[in-house]
Amino acid sequence: MQTWPGSAYPLGATFDGNGTNFALFSEGADRVELCLFGERGRETRVDMLEVDAYVWHAYLPNIAPGQRYGYRVHGEYDPTSGKRFNPNKLLLDPYAKAVDGQVNWGQSVFGYTFGDPDSRNDEDSAADMMKGVVINPFFDWGGDRPPRIPYSESFIYEAHVKGLTMRHPDIPDEIRGTYSAIAHPLIIEHLKRLGVTAIELLPVHQFINDSMLEEKGLSNYWGYNTIAFLAPQNTYSSSGQRGQQVQEFKGMVRALHEAGIEVILDVVYNHTAEGNHLGPTLSFRGIDNEAYYRLEDDDKRYYTDYTGTGNSLNVGNPHALQLIMDSLRYWVLEMHVDGFRFDLAATLAREFYDVDRLATFFELVQQDPVVSQVKLIAEPWDVGPGGYQVGNFPPQWTEWNGKYRDTVRDFWRGEPQALGEFASRLTGSSDLYAHSGRWPVASINFVTAHDGFTLRDLVSYEQKHNEANGEDGRDGADDNRSMNFGVEGPTDDPQVNELRERMQRNFIATLLLSQGVPMLLHGDELGRTQGGNNNGYAQDNEITWIDWENVDASLIDFTSALARLRRDHPTFRRRRFFDGRPVRREEVERIPDIVWLRPDGTQMQPEDWDSGFGRSIGVFLNGNGIRERDRRGEPITDLHFLVLFNAGDEPVEFTLPDVEFSPNWDVLVDTAGTLANTEPVHPGAAVDLAAKSVVVLCEHVEEEVEVDRFVAASLATGTVSIDEVPGAAPKEELSR
Query: CA distances (Å), 305 to each of 257, 382, 385, in order?
Result: 38, 10, 11
Please tell me the distance from the alpha carbon of residue 413 to that of residue 482, in angstroms, as a whole number: 7
526, 555 contact by CB (below 8 A): yes
What are the backbone angles phi and psi of residue 626, rounded to the nearest 5°? -75, -30
Residue in 510, 617, 627 with CA at minimum distance from that of residue 565: 510
Query: CA distances (Å), 136 to each of 85, 170, 591, in order?
Result: 31, 32, 62
Please say if 379 is a catalytic residue: yes
Please tell me the distance from the alpha carbon of residue 597 to that of residue 594, in angstroms, as a whole number: 10
532, 464 contact by CB (below 8 A): yes
Q: In sequence order, what DSSP letters do the residues of 639-662 get, joined into one string?
A: --EEEEEE-SSS-EEEEP--TTT-
Residue 173: other Cβ atoms inside 10 A: 7
Produce one character per residue of 236-250: b if its CB has 16 or more CB atoms within 10 Å, e if not. bbbbebbbbbbbbbb
Query: CA distances (Å), 60 to each of 2, 46, 56, 67, 133, in order?
Result: 7, 10, 14, 11, 14
161, 179 contact by CB (below 8 A): yes
**Amino acid (1-letter code) at residue 641:** F
62, 99 contact by CB (below 8 A): no
Angle at 358 between CA 354 and CA 362, to 5 degrees: 105
Non-local (6+) Cβ contacts of 542 within 8 A are 167
361, 348 contact by CB (below 8 A): yes
Please say if 343 is a catalytic residue: yes
Please tell me the distance from the alpha carbon of residue 316 to that of residue 336, in angstroms, as a whole number: 28
Q: Residue 10: is the preceding peptide bond cis (ω within 30°)?
A: yes
Q: Which helix (H) or strand (E) holds 163?
A: helix 161-165
Of the candidates 288, 379, 410, 524, the residue annotated as catalytic is 379
Query: CA distances (Å), 732 to each of 59, 339, 735, 736, in order?
Result: 59, 34, 9, 12
Long-range contacts of 467-472 (CB under 8 A, 24+ apart): 468/533, 468/539, 468/543, 469/218, 469/533, 469/535, 469/537, 469/538, 469/539, 470/216, 470/218
Q: Is 376 helix (H, G, I), strand (E, B) or coil?
A: strand
Widest distance between CA atoms in the chain:
106
DSSP assigned state of 535: -
Query: CA distances (Å), 571 to each of 458, 514, 576, in order?
Result: 29, 10, 11
Please tell me the distance from the alpha carbon of residue 734 to that of residue 632, in angstroms, as a whole number: 22
**Amino acid (1-letter code) at residue 603:** Q
Residue in 277, 271, 262, 266 with CA at minimum distance from that of residue 315: 271
Of the candidates 248, 305, 338, 343, the residue annotated as catalytic is 343
| Terminal-residue alpha carbon distance, the chain | 58
- What pairs with residue 70 in β-bridges? 35
Q: At what angle do helices 284-292 and 318-333 cross, to 10 degrees?
A: 120
Please tell me the distance from the alpha carbon of residue 125 to that of residue 294, in angstroms, as a whole number: 25
Chain CA centroid to CA 495, Å: 34
311, 269 contact by CB (below 8 A): no
Residues noted as catalytic: 343, 379
